Structure 1
Amino acid sequence: MISKINSSIVLVFLFIITPVGSIFSQEEITKQELEEHIQFLANDSLKGRFPGTVENKMVVDYIKKDFTSNGIFSQFQEFTARLKADNSEVKTCNVIGFIEGNDPILKNEIIILGAHYDHLGVREGSIYNGADDNASGTAALLEIAEKVKANQKLLKRSILFIAFGAEEQGLLGSSYFVNHPTVALDSVKLMINMDMVGHLNEQNHVYMGGAGTFPGGMQLMDSLGMPNHVKPIVHAGSVAGSDHVSFYDKGISVLGIHTGGHDHYHKPTDDIENLNLAGEVKVANYIYNALMAIANSKREMKFIPQDD
């Protein structure tokens, strides 16, 4: 385990040079790798992953290197983010990975799995590390992508993995993507978003909105609970609060998944010590199995709008 430090930039560069993954993608999502990703992403030396900073760029490089090390085609999507605090503009990125499906027809249909990697930076001398918000989601994105790559032969549909920038500034990364898509937007059949998935409670509750936006979504997400040792709290609508909203507003089916609010939300105490890492393994496997159930099937995927 890599212990948390306050100032050693050397450790940050070591992480960037040597991502957790390797050219041999693993078939298991492990607590160790989730922990190592979050130790990097939520380290004090990254100063809260604020858009436009050197530290934010280090995170972008780390994510892309991890995709590449696992044999996943990846690219940067640079955009300009207008900051809430002073209305200034900075450059930041979405990081996109792509795994192609195998069915000659269905591979042209795309499922997106996303998570934002930015956080709040430094405020009044305190570092907001955002271990749950959203280092947890970014770590899950990397681990799930690695497992999907190891099982690519099973895929019918193709999958885009997107680490969004500047979510905390107003869903800017996802908004930029849907307005400047790297694939035909009408080919995107579902967007699954992970934002704060590191605080699984004692009841193993996994919360989600949008399950009613595609056929059979409610039943699918409920049925996968018991085999993955979680208890889904499934809502047909309740589409709000994070990057999946940008896709829903474009008429794309979505799932927004999280493990609930807590006292550390948007506070300097949102550190790795307060996460349930063993619980995040369960959540990541639940999401992986939902993703694969959709990507590996010929089920009809169409958008169903919801009232709430």
Structure 2
Amino acid sequence: MNFRRLTPGILLLLVSTIGFSQNLDPKDISAHIAILAADSLEGRGTGTLGEIKAANYIADWFKRAGLEAKGGNGSFFEPFGVVIHYEGVPHQVTARNVVGFLDNQAEGTIVIGAHYDHLGKGYQSGSLRPDSQNLIHNGADDNASGVAGVIELARYFSENQTKEKYNFLFIAFSGEELGLLGSKFFVDHSTIPMESVAMMVNMDMVGRLDEAKGVTIGGWGTSPEWGGLIPALAKKNDLKFATDSSGVGPSDHTSFYLKEKPVLFFFTGVHSDYHKPSDDSEKINAAGEQKILQLIVDLVGELGKTNNTITFTEAGSPHAQGAQSDFKVTLGIIPDYSFNGRGLRVDAVTKNRPAAAAGMETGDIITQMGEFPIKDIYDYMKSLGQYEVGQSIDVEVWRKQENKKLRVKF
């Protein structure tokens, strides 16, 4: 079957074949991905009609699972504004997160999320195919696979006849491809108290598992619980894995880590179809994704056996590590990739690094580094390559309508 060209009638037939079950079934995973990555949704570009159709589909499954609508105003949808540049012209559109809550009357809540937006028909930025415009980028792996996981876990935990020791908040984020916009908006406008969030699980590209290589699990360093529990559970599920200690990266768990929440990020790796029109449903390894979902289910079960709080620990920043490997110096910040203004906005400052020692703060906009004006992230990266360890420079930042000069020593 050519999943990309499913007609509305066939889509409805596929939906009707998905039944509620206490088990996680690869056939159900495949059916969700086929629907979300069909040509009729035109690549789910942020704020497009195709993305709205995807949001409706996700909300329908949340409703069928008996979840409480937690987007705000009694709806599953949490809308937020996004500026999209088309042919150099900015356009204000409305994007929406899809949010559902499973209330177990517990003190803590586990957030399980994935982004559902993708690159649309190639007009939004990010395609790796040069002649991308007007070509549908279905994003089966990126990230219909993660959304299918969110839907299936919502279905599982609502139907498993077990009252876990955590509540669950299931979220499909919009605007991830434009700079983690949906997750950033959510953590700043959370529809549940952020202090009640015990941890966040993020699935982004979990549909291409290579059994020999396994899954990469990010956020390993954000809680000591992960190293004590996950290895045995992975072995039980015959799932090889590699770890990444960092709590930040180019996906939505970063927004929660920056709020000092333990995170886990599941990722089966980049492939030749990444951000291209060829990322289609027939290439998904649904049985491999089922193993990842079962690992998450088993982890929740183990966490429920103790009343201990899931401890947050500060993990390293891959941006800082990358800067050290590519340049002689690093500033020690996490850039705000969604910032469209002039300069480089700081999304987070790493402790005990040059920026922190100089007094730089989250929200500062870097406009000058030494003799180099900073108009965007590319200017920032170029300027870093000009400095040596031990060198001191003046860095100008715009903070709260005021220009400040900071002395940075690398």
TM-score (structure 2 length as normaliser): 0.69
Q: Deviations over 1:151-195 (max 9, x none)?
A: 253301111010111111110110010000001111111111000
Q: Is 1:96 the equivalent of 2:95? A: no
Quick one: structure 1 residues 268 and 295, their matched pair in 2 at CA, closer, same or farther if it must change by over 3 Å?
farther
Q: Which residue of 2 aligns with 1:33?
A: 28
Q: Is the 8 A contact 2:180 2:252 kept in 1?
A: yes
Give aligned-pair identity as a percent: 37
Map Cα deviations across residues 51-72 of structure 1 (whole Å, 9 max, x no partner): 2222111111110111111222
**2:245 aligns to what?**
236
Which SS does the other structure have where 2:121 is aligned? strand
Matched residue SS, 1:128: coil
Q: Is the 8 A contact 1:100 1:158 kept in 2?
A: yes
Structure 1 residue aligned with 2:78 = 77
Q: In the alignment, what sits opposite 1:111? A: 110
1:164 is matched with 173
| Residues 46-101 of structure 1: CA deviation (Å, up to 9, x unaligned) | 10011222211111111011111122223211111222555322112111111122
Return the structure number with greater relative CO, CA threshold 8 A, min gap 6: 1
The answer to whether 1:4 aligns with 2:3 is yes
Q: Please give the alpha-carbon distance, in whole angstroms, between the structure 1 residues aligned to 2:302 and 2:114.
A: 20
Change (3 A) 1:138 1:79: same
1:183 and 2:192 matched = yes
CA distance 1:30–1:304, shift in 2 (3 Å): same
Q: CA shift at 1:20, angstroms?
A: 6.0
Aligned mate of 1:272, from 260, 281, 286: 281
* Structure 1 residue 297 displacement after superposition: 3.5
Residue 84 of structure 1 contacts residue 169 of structure 1 at CA under 8 Å; is this kept in 2? no
1:132, distance to aligned residue in structure 2 (A)? 0.2
Amino acid in the other structure paired with 2:46 = P
Q: Please state how far the C-alpha of 1:292 moved relative to its aligned partner.
A: 3.4
Cα distance, 1:295 vs structure 2: 4.5
- C-alpha contact (below 8 Å) 2:253/2:263 kept by paired residues: yes
| Shift, 1:6, TM fit | 3.3
- 1:134 counterpart SS class: helix
Q: Assess, with a 3 A threshold, how the Cα gap between structure 1 residues 286 and 206 changes in structure 2: closer, same or farther.
A: same
Query: After superposition, where does 1:112-261 map in structure 2 within 5 Å?
Result: 112-123=111-122, 124-151=133-160, 153-203=162-212, 205-237=214-246, 239-261=248-270
User: Is 1:49 aligned with 2:50?
Assistant: no
Cα distance in 1 for partners of 2:276, 2:263 equals 28
Letter in 1 for 2:135: S
Q: Distance in 2 between matches of 1:7 and 1:217?
A: 40
Q: Hey, what's the Cα distance between the residues in 2 that align with 1:119 and 1:273?
A: 18
- Structure 2: state its 5+ residue gaps: 70-75, 123-132, 318-410
CA contact (8 A) 1:15 1:62 kept: no
Relative to structure 1, is the Cα distance of residues 126 and 81 closer, same or farther in structure 2, using a 3 angstrom cutoff? same
Structure (1/2) with the larger helix percentage = 1
Closer/same/farther in 2, CA of residues 238 and 184 from structure 1, 3 Å limit: closer
**Distance change in 2, residues 1:291/1:88 (3 Å):** farther
Cα distance per residue 1:234-254 (max 9 Å; x no partner): 232253110000111111111
Mapped contact 1:20–1:66 kept (Cα < 8 A): no
Structure of higher CA gyration radius: 2
8 A contact 1:204–1:231 mirrored in 2:
yes
Quick check: 2:29–2:149 contact (8 Å CA) kept in 1? yes
Q: Given residue 176 of structure 2, which amino acid in structure 1 is its aligned partner?
A: E
User: How many residue pairs are counted as aligned between the two chains?
Assistant: 299
Check whether the contact 1:225–1:232 (CA below 8 A) recurs between aligned residues. Answer: yes
Residues 19 and 252 of structure 1: CA distance in aligned 2, closer, same or farther (over 3 Å) = farther
Query: C-alpha distance in 2, partners of 1:253/1:84?
Result: 34
How large is the Cα RMSD of the aligned pairs? 2.0
The answer to whether the 8 Å contact 2:206/2:266 transfers is yes
How far apart, CA to CA, are the structure 2 residues paired with 1:295 and 1:96?
Answer: 23
What is the SS of the residue equivalent to 2:215?
strand
Task: Please give the secondary structure, in 1, of the residue aligned with 2:293.
Answer: helix
Q: Structure 1, unaligned stretches of length 5 or more?
A: none
Find runs of 4+ consecutive structure 1 residues off by over 4 angstroms: 9-12, 18-22
Q: Is the 8 A contact 1:110 1:160 kept in 2?
A: yes
Q: Does 1:64 align with 2:65?
A: no
Contact 1:210 1:255 in 2 (8 A): yes
The 3 A distance-change label for structure 1 pair 94 and 152 is farther
Distance 1:115 1:152, change over 3 A: farther
